Amino acid sequence: MRFAILSDAHIISPGAAPQNGADARANLGAAVRTLAGIRPAPQLVVHLGDQVSMPSPTAYAEFTRITRDLTMPQVHVPGNHDDRAMLAQALPLPSDVEPQGAPGGYYALVRGGVQLVILNSSPGGEVSGGWIDAEQLDWLDRTLAARTREPTVVFVHHHCHPVGIEWLDAVALNNATELMAVLQRHDRVLRVFSGHVHRRTSATVGGASTETAPSTWITLGPDRADPYVNAHQGFLVVDVNADRLSITEVSI
């Protein structure tokens, strides 16, 4: 099973000026073109949250316009900049996926013998740290217990481990310890992927391997007053073979 992870596109409405020196629309377009040339082609694309910068129907329409040439199915993680109702309407999920929590909050699907679990860490749309509520954690526990044959990969927008940047770590997943406690009860969870920090990092938290993805728009740096770094944009390509997972970072 091969899938791609695009994160934190932060698309803006047509006609809006590029933000912080980086053109989010041009960068996402470059990622789509680069992704189209990868062989073997990924079977799925996961957008890891913050599909748009300021939610509006025109911003989501612009996101779908840029990504419509992708030939593989796409699924979407809700981010703290997303509006879940607009996201669900503009970017419908595959017909065999039944989201939990209205609208389109969290869900699981199986592709290529791999279970992919998408969580919602922004239930109230807040722009600060993330949270996964008890109902969702219970659903996750039951979902993992029900499918023990397939290896599992988990996706959540807010990062689950410290990245060493104080202002970013202040807006991490606030109950990452509770999430990891659930995952530790199930032995075929290969990785937890997060966005939100606009940079690639990795760690092991409570026995679970966690990874953050780069942004296609812009990188975030340590200076809270001027955090935007117009460099190192890209995406991830992930290969899963049985219980082995490998990651390739692709620059755009």
Q: Domain limits of the chain?
A: 2-251
State the CATH architecture for 2-251: 4-Layer Sandwich (3.60)
User: Is residue 164 packed enough to be buried (19+ CB in 10 Å), middle (13-18) or exposed (0-12)?
Assistant: exposed
Cα separation, 92 vs 90, in Å, equals 6
Give the count of beta carbons closer than 10 Å to the beta carbon of residue 182: 20
Q: Which residues of the chain have pLDDT under 50?
A: 125, 127
pTM for this one?
0.96
- Residue that the structure tokens 């997303």 belong to: 82
59-69 confidence digits (pLDDT tens): 999 999 999 99
Question: Are 72 and 79 spatial neighbours (Cβ–Cβ below 8 Å)?
Answer: no
The pLDDT of residue 103: 65
Among residues 158, 150, 88, which one has the least CA distance to residue 130? 158
